Copies of this chain bind each other. A is one copy, B any other.
């Protein structure tokens, strides 16, 4: 018997309502019935995005939507400012290069947020930069960037702001319109609580002007084709029907709980993870700008991070993530995202304690859970808020 507890930063657990809706017999997508579902999904997304902009749903991973934000906005030889503070920031730069776009990279130490001032300086020095590519939450480090401040800066220029909000949307505060974000990219398997397979893109009026001028090749991810269909509650190519049906159910849950309630739940879970790490004598990778979606915890040199993650997953059924690239084996990442409650966080901390103890790390057994419980005991609100 293996009972599994999933606390990875995507995929995240899927609510029962979504699972059941996706298990229903499949329907055809060129039907009035599906048009209604698609409309409902886009309306629900508009609430989570806090956006009046166009929103498109693609059957793809988040990376496909990241690529679309380059192929639709830019032309060969264009310059784009790219914030590289983790694996996903680096991906934007890789895609630029693949398309013959010149990335002006702002390299940020992994675990630190980008300084909005650095973006301002890069824009001043590169007046021909067409766009700024950054991330809301860097899933690889657990850093959240100050998109509100960045939005203010970019809005004063001709450049558009593209934000990879894949692992932040629905988990941390984010306001597409108010924060003047031109392109927002999101995915289904994080705060939106659905299995991987859907990507979302919102497009501002300012972005549309750039799209008109873009000459890079695109077809499947073409925003103009997507808009033409979306205006008729349709998609240009076959949509991932069951995932969109599941999404509608997940969005209903967010609507009922309210975005404020959902974010407060995420914040409390992340606070508990941070408190627990401290109690176990472990440091945070991103103490300055920690995301509420995923908490990265540094491991002592004596602890093999890969073995820790493997033991938690294979022996104890508790899935968390290790570090990526240069952080491999050196950190662990525990998600507090989507269909998770404080009890899932308690399970993750308790399992971490048991395995750390077995691996020889010195700390008072139970102290991590105690620190988390102190956070949870502060409020009388339950797991549902």
By a beta-carbon cutoff of 8 Å, the part of chain A in contact with chain B is 1-3, 5, 13, 15, 23, 253, 256-257, 262, 265, 314-318, 339-341, 343-344, 346-347, 350-351, 353-354, 357-358, 364-367, 369-371, 373-374, 376-377, 380-384
Contacts and interface: CB of A to CB of B under 8 A. Distances in A.
Nearest to A250: B1
Contacts of A265: 1
A317 B373 contact: no
A262 B340 CA distance: 28
Contact of A341 (B317, B339, B365, B366): B317
Nearest to A13: B3
B370 A339 contact: no
A365 B373 contact: yes
Contacts of A371: 366
A343 B365 contact: no
A343 B367 contact: no
Do most interface residues of chain A lie in helix, strand or loop, or is the interface mixed? helix
A247 to B, nearest CB: 15
Given A347-B347, A354-B377, A376-B354, A339 B369 contact: no
Given A315-B381, A358-B380, 18 more contacts: A1-B262, A3-B339, A3-B341, A3-B384, A315-B380, A315-B382, A316-B382, A318-B343, A318-B383, A343-B351, A346-B350, A350-B369, A354-B376, A358-B377, A365-B377, A366-B371, A366-B373, A369-B369
A358 to B, nearest CB: 6
B383 A3 contact: yes
Contact of A370 (B5, B316, B317, B370): B370
11 contacts: A1-B253, A1-B256, A1-B339, A3-B344, A3-B383, A314-B382, A316-B382, A346-B350, A354-B376, A366-B367, A369-B370
Contacts of A316: 343, 382-383
Contacts of A383: 2-3, 315-318
B347 A343 contact: yes
A317 B382 contact: yes
Nearest to A193: B1
A307 B346 CA distance: 23
A317 B343 contact: yes
A308 to B, nearest CB: 14
The 7 closest A-B pairs by CB, nearest first: A366-B370, A315-B382, A343-B347, A369-B369, A346-B350, A316-B382, A317-B383
Given A369-B366, A370-B369, A382-B316, A357 B343 contact: no
B373 A353 contact: yes
A315 B381 CA distance: 7
Contacts of A374: 365-366
A353 to B, nearest CB: 6
Nearest to A312: B382
A322 to B, nearest CB: 18
B365 A350 contact: no
Nearest to A20: B23
A152 B19 CA distance: 51
Given A23-B23, A357-B377, A1 B370 contact: no
A307 to B, nearest CB: 13
Given A1-B253, A315-B382, A365 B358 contact: no
B369 A373 contact: yes
A3 B59 CA distance: 28
